[in-house]
Amino acid sequence: MTKIKTISCIGAGYVGGPTMAVIALKNPHIRINVVDMNPEKIALWNSDNMDDLPVYEPGLSEIIQEVRGKNLFFSTDVDQAIRDAEMIFISVNTPTKSYGIGKGMAADLKYVELCARQIGKGATRDKIVVEKSTLPVRTASSIKKIFAAQQSNISFSVLSNPEFLAEGTAINDLLNADRVLIGGEETEAGQKAIQSLSAIYEAWLPKERIISTNIWSSELSKLTANAFLAQRISSINAISALCEKTGANVDEVAKAIGADSRIGSKFLKSSVGFGGSCFKKDILNLVYLCRHFGLQEAGDYWEQVIKINDYQKQRFAENIVTALFNTVSGKDIAFFGWAFKKDTNDTRESAAIEIADKLIEEQAVITVYDPKVKYARMIEDMNYLDTRSEEENEKALNFETDPYEAAKDSHAIAVITEWDEFKTYDWQKIYSSMKKPAFVFDGRNILDHEDLRKIGFIVRGIGKQ
């Protein structure tokens, strides 16, 4: 086994940045270069102002301050990073393909392939290449073929080491990972490469938490883990619709079923629908893979998880329109939250986007307050849908840096993200400033509905009457 002293990571995003920061913190003897082709992003990672870091995660800026410039470096020089490192992590984005075969379903592997070609071309000595990005099962075999076609005198070991961190809790998830998964080839070189990577994690995690498997199991386990997590949310969200019709309370149902240790209590929080950059894309990818291998029924089964999620977002928007006397035309609706979950500035696939789109289609005017998301990002999200022009989006979607201002003169508040601070607001003051009757649509069931009703609000939660 080689004791690794130099690592490079290609991709300085939500995974590359925090993961390498923690590895650097726990392995001061390893020099780590994080590289990205986006110079603005690298400049932000190098900024002295910690508020500028391109990723917001509780605890991240403290670690960056401790290790940056010591054994963690950010740069745009990908070729140099490839030459320098004994071990290279590929942490680039793998979005859903937007063109050609598999459009709208398969993972777009162009960034991963670019990395593989660049590594294959630039390597001057043996390398361990680690797939950190989430990839379809059997990607490692394509990566190996690319290496083999470019260099015959250098040995490349390819490992799969998917990342399981969740945004908003990334640092804690990394420091206290339930498990680290490493898939490698069953050859002597493959097993040695696994040991080299394992040693890096053993700097802070007990050995029992490091699971090694064959490479295909590791690649497939990542897609499967996300599919199972998302499936639980869609399952409880499907039940929430039934609760609203029957008088059952989805939070009580979730508590009752979650108390069964076989089911467990996590990921049973009914919501406006799951967002985030990965659940949807990874399930679509899983569906695509099932169908690619002729497993139509298996694909249809997983696709339903996404259909229920779309249904949940649509239902939430429709419930707002229905409750507001079947019209929101010209009405002001305040959105509390735009991020896809609390404690992150990430908005990718946030339910907020489609809910806003639907309400704007009904001619509502929306004012958003989110503690971490910038207005430019929100407008970009809306423009990406391509439903209307940028000017129209800017007209229909406004932004306030103060939640009380966002709520002022509105007809309704829609709680989209479960930011803790929403629970601490002076709701009496908010009520006084709103048009009457004043509505709260609690898309996260985080507020005390009885208290709000006492103030005078008409309240609708998810999965309760």
- Residue number, 113 or 394, with CB nearest to ligand NAD: 113
The token pair at 87 is: 């071990």
DSSP H helix total and E strand total for the chain: 18, 14
Span near ligand NAD by CB under 6 A; candidates 14-22, 204-212, 302-310, 311-319: 14-22
Catalytic residue among 9, 115, 278, 290: 278
The secondary structure of 228-288 as a DSSP string is HHHHHHHHHHHHHHHHHHHS--HHHHHHHHHTSTTT-STT----S---SSSHHHHHHHHHH
C-beta of 174 vs 366, nearer to ligand NAD: 174
Between 352 and 371, how does the x/- string for binding to ligand UGA read (CB under 6 A)? --------------------
Residue 290 is among the residues annotated as catalytic for this protein: no
* Rounded Cα gap, residues 264 and 221, in angstroms: 20
Residue with smaller CB distance to ligand UGA, 72 or 165: 165
Cβ atoms of residues 87 and 128 within 8 Å: yes
Q: Evaluate whether 111 touches 31 at the Cβ level (below 8 Å).
A: no
Binding mask 15-44 for ligand NAD (x = CB under 6 A): xx-------------------xxx--x---
Q: Which does 274 bind (CB under 5 to 8 A by kind): ligand UGA, ligand NAD, none?
A: ligand UGA
CA 53/CA 344 separation, integer angstroms: 12
Interatomic CA distance for residues 354 and 406, integer angstroms: 20
Subset of 273-292 contacting ligand NAD (CB under 6 A): 277-278
* Assigned token pair, 48: 């002295």
CA 433 to chain centre: 35
CA–CA distance from 95 to each of 15, 38, 110, 187, 304 (Å)? Answer: 14, 17, 10, 31, 20
Q: Do 222 and 134 touch, CB atoms closer than 8 A?
A: yes
135, 278, 413, 459: which one binds ligand UGA (CB under 6 A): 278
Q: Which of 167, 201, 188, 186 is nearest to 55 (CA)?
A: 167
Question: Which is nearer to ligand UGA, 268 or 333 (by Cβ)?
Answer: 268
CB of 278 to ligand UGA, least distance (A): 3
Comparing CA positions, the residue from 99, 102, 157 lying closest to residue 125 is 157
Is the preceding peptide bond at 437 cis, omega within 30 degrees of 0?
yes
Residues numbered 368-397 forming contacts with ligand UGA, rule: CB under 6 A? none
- Cβ within 8 Å of residue 406, ≥6 positions away: 334, 335, 336, 367, 368, 369, 400
CA atoms of 339 and 355, how far apart (whole Å): 13
Task: Select from 275, 299, 403, 461 the one that contacts ligand UGA (CB under 6 A).
Answer: 275
- Smallest gap from Cβ 23 to ligand NAD, in A, equals 15
- Contacted entry of ligand UGA, ligand NAD, none for residue 111, CB cut-off 5 to 8 Å set by kind: ligand NAD
Shortest separation between residue 416's beta carbon and ligand UGA, angstroms: 10
Give which of ligand UGA, ligand NAD, none residue 226 binds (C-beta under 5 to 8 Å, depending on kind).
ligand UGA
41 binding ligand UGA? (CB under 6 A) = no
Kindly state the helix (H) or strand (E) to which residue 217 belongs, with its residue range: helix 215-246
Element (H, E) at 146: helix 139-150
- Regarding 356 and contact with ligand NAD (CB under 6 A), the answer is no
Q: How far is the CB of 383 from ligand UGA (least distance, A)?
A: 21
- What character string, x for contact with ligand NAD (CB under 6 A) and - otherwise, covers 216-245? ------------------------------
Give the shortest CB-247-to-ligand NAD separation in angstroms: 37
Q: Which of 370, 359, 355, 354 is nearest to 417 (CA)?
A: 370
Tell me the window of 83-91, 145-153, 180-188, 261-269 that interacts with ligand UGA (CB under 6 A).
261-269
Q: Quick check: 177 binds ligand UGA (CB under 6 A)?
A: no
Interface positions, 94-113, toward ligand NAD (CB under 6 A):
94, 111
Is residue 167 involved in binding ligand NAD (CB under 6 A)?
Answer: yes
Question: Interface with ligand UGA includes 229 (CB under 6 A)?
Answer: yes
Backbone angles phi, psi at 386, to 5 degrees: 65, 30
**CA nearest to 155, candidates 194, 193, 126:** 126
**Of 82, 165, 200, 462, the one binding ligand UGA by CB under 6 A:** 165
Amino acid sitting at position 2: T
Determine which residue in the list 27, 33, 63, 163 makes contact with ligand NAD, applying CB under 6 A: 163
Q: Is 215 in the site for ligand NAD (CB under 6 A)?
A: no
- Report DSSP state, residue 186: S
Q: Which residues bind ligand UGA (CB under 6 A)?
A: 134, 163-167, 226, 229, 233, 267-269, 271, 274-276, 278-279, 340-341
Q: Which residues bind ligand NAD (CB under 6 A)?
A: 10-16, 36-38, 41, 78, 91-94, 111, 114-115, 133-134, 163, 165, 167, 277-278
Catalytic residue list: 278
